[in-house]
Structure 1
Amino acid sequence: MKKFLFDLFPVILFFAIFKWGQGNPADAHALLSHYLSGFMASGAVQESHAPILLATAVAILATFGQIGYMLLRRKKIDAMLWLSLVIITVFGGATIYFNNPTFIKWKPTILYWCFGAGLLVSQFLFQKNLIKTMLGAQITLPEPVWFKVNLSWAAFFAVMGFVNLAVAFAFGLSESAWVNFKLFGFTALMIIFVVGQSMFLSKYIKETP
C-alpha cells in the first residue's frame, strides 16, 4: 500500500494543484507568470491554461523528489520510475514551453504503452518474463501461465493508453473531467485488474507453514 501511494504521489499532487488552480485562477496565473514565464516560448501565460500548467510543473518536481528521496535512502530505483521521470519531463516540459496542455494529456498513454512494450520486448526478444521476475518468489506457475499473465499485463497497458486518449480527446470532455479520470478512473481500473489477476492466481500462491 505504501509503495502504491508513493507511486501515485505525483498524480495526487497534479490533481490537487489543478483543482486549487481552478478555484484560484488569478493566483495560479500569478505564480506561473512569476516562476515559469521565462521557460515558455511565448513568454506569456494564458490564464485558462494556468491550472494545468501549474499542476504539470508540480508533478515534474514531485517525480524528481521521488528520485531524490530514493537516492538519499540508498534504495534501488525501479526502471519504471526512471521512465516516468523521463516521460513527464519531456511531455510536461513541452506542455509548459509551448503553453499547450495537449502534451501532458498524451503523457499517460506514452507511459502505459512503454510499459506494455517493455513487457513484450523482454518476452519475445530476450526471452525474459518481467512479471515472473517480479512475482516468481511468491507464486509458482507453469511457464504457459506466466506467458499468459505477461501478455495480459501488456494488453492491459495498451488498453489503458487508448482509454486515456479517448477520455482526453475523443469524447469532448472538459479538461477537469480528464484530470478527474486520470486519478480516479485509472486507479479504479488498475485495482479492478489487479484484483482479477489475484483471484486468477490465488490457487498458485504458496501457503506459509
Structure 2
Amino acid sequence: MKQIVDFIPLLLFFVVYKLEPRTFELADLNVTVGGIFNATAALIISSVVVYAALFIHQRRLTKSQWLTLAACLLFGGLTLALHSEAILKWKAPVLNWLFALAFTGSHFIGEKPLIQRVMGHAVQLQPAQWTKLNVAWILFFLICGFANLFVAFVYPSIWVDFKIFGSLGLTLLFMAGQAVYLARHMQPEPEES
C-alpha cells in the first residue's frame, strides 16, 4: 500500500500535464491549468501533502521517501523558479543514481548490503546471494537513470509518458525478475521440533 501512495504525486503530475492548458478567471485572477509548470506545482504540493500524511500516520518516513521529497522540492522548485523544464527532467536520473550510489556504498559501509538491510527480515539468503541481488539493484537504478535521461532529452515529446509508464514497466519487470531469483534461492524455514 505504501508504494501505491508514493505514486499519487506522480499520477497527479501526469494528469495535470496532459490537460490542455486553459486559463480561467477566478476571483479576479487569471489561473492557468495544464502543462509542465502547473504539473510541476501539482507534483510539489501533492508530494508535500502525501509525505506529510504518511509522516503523521507512521510517525516517520523512510530514507528513500525523504530523498524523493527533497529531490521533488529541489528540482521542482528550481523548475518553477527558473521556468525551465530541463531541470525537472534531471530529477529522475539523479534520484536513480543516488539510489545506485547508496546501494554501492553499502558494500563498503556497514556489515550488510543495503538490499539485505531492507529485505533481510522477510527473506533469508546466503551472503553471496545478497551481494548479487544488491548489484542487480545498482544496475537497475543506473539503467533507469540513463533511460530517463535519454528519453527526456532525445524524445522529449514522450518523456512524461515514459516517466510514468516506462519507468513503472521497468520496475515491474525488474521486480518480477527479482521474485524469480528469490524463489530459486530462498532457504526453507527450519522445522521446529
TM-score under structure 1 normalisation? 0.82
Deviations 1:115-174 (A, max 9, x none): 11011112223343111112112221110110110011011101100001110112x441
Give 5+ residue unaligned stretches, structure 1: 37-46
- Which letter does structure 2 place at the counterpart of 1:13? L
1:39 corresponds in structure 2 to none
Q: Which has the higher contact order (CA 8 A, sep 6+)?
A: 1
- Give the structure 2 partner of residue 26 of structure 1: 22
Q: Please state whether the residue corresponding to 2:17 is helix, strand or coil.
A: helix
> Which one has the bigger helix percentage?
1
Residue pair 1:91, 1:103 contacting (<8 A) in 2 also: yes
Q: Sort the Cα spacing of 1:139 and 1:74 in 2 relative to 1 into closer, same or farther, 3 A.
A: closer
Q: 2:67 aligns with which of 61, 76, 83?
A: 83
Moved more, 127-136 or 192-201: 127-136
Kindly state the Cα deviation for residue 106 of structure 1 after the two structures are TM-superposed. 0.6
Structure 1 residues 35 and 141, CA, compared in 2 at 3 Å: closer, same or farther?
farther
* Residue 55 (str. 1) matches residue 39 (str. 2): yes
Alignment of 1:146-165 (within 5 A): 146-165=130-149
Deviations 1:61-94 (A, max 9, x none): 1111122102221433110110011111111111
2:48/2:69 contact within 8 Å kept = yes
Which of 189, 194, 207 pairs up with 2:170?
189
From 64, 78, 96, give the equivalent of 1:112: 96
Is the counterpart of residue 200 in structure 1 residue 184 in structure 2? no
Cα distance in 1 for residues equivalent to 2:7 and 2:142: 19
**Paired residue total:** 188
Offset of 1:207 from its aligned partner? 5.8
Higher share in strand:
2
Partner of 1:137, secondary structure, is coil
**Mean Cα displacement is larger for which, 72-81 or 144-153?**
72-81
Amino acid across the alignment from 2:51 = I
Note closer, same or farther for the CA distance 1:62–1:202 as it changes in structure 2 (3 Å cut): same
Residue 13 of structure 2 aligns with which residue? 14
- Give the CA RMSD over aligned residues: 2.3
**CA offsets per residue over residues 48-72 of structure 1, 9 Å max, x none?**
xx61111111111111112210222
**Stretches of structure 2 lacking an aligned partner (at least 5 in a row):** none
Residue of 176, 180, 205 corresponding to 2:161: 180
**Percent identity, aligned pairs only?**
32
Distance 2:176 2:109 in 1: 29
Maintained 8 Å contact 1:138/1:206: no
Q: What amino acid does structure 2 have at the position aligned with 1:56?
A: T
TM-score (norm 2): 0.88
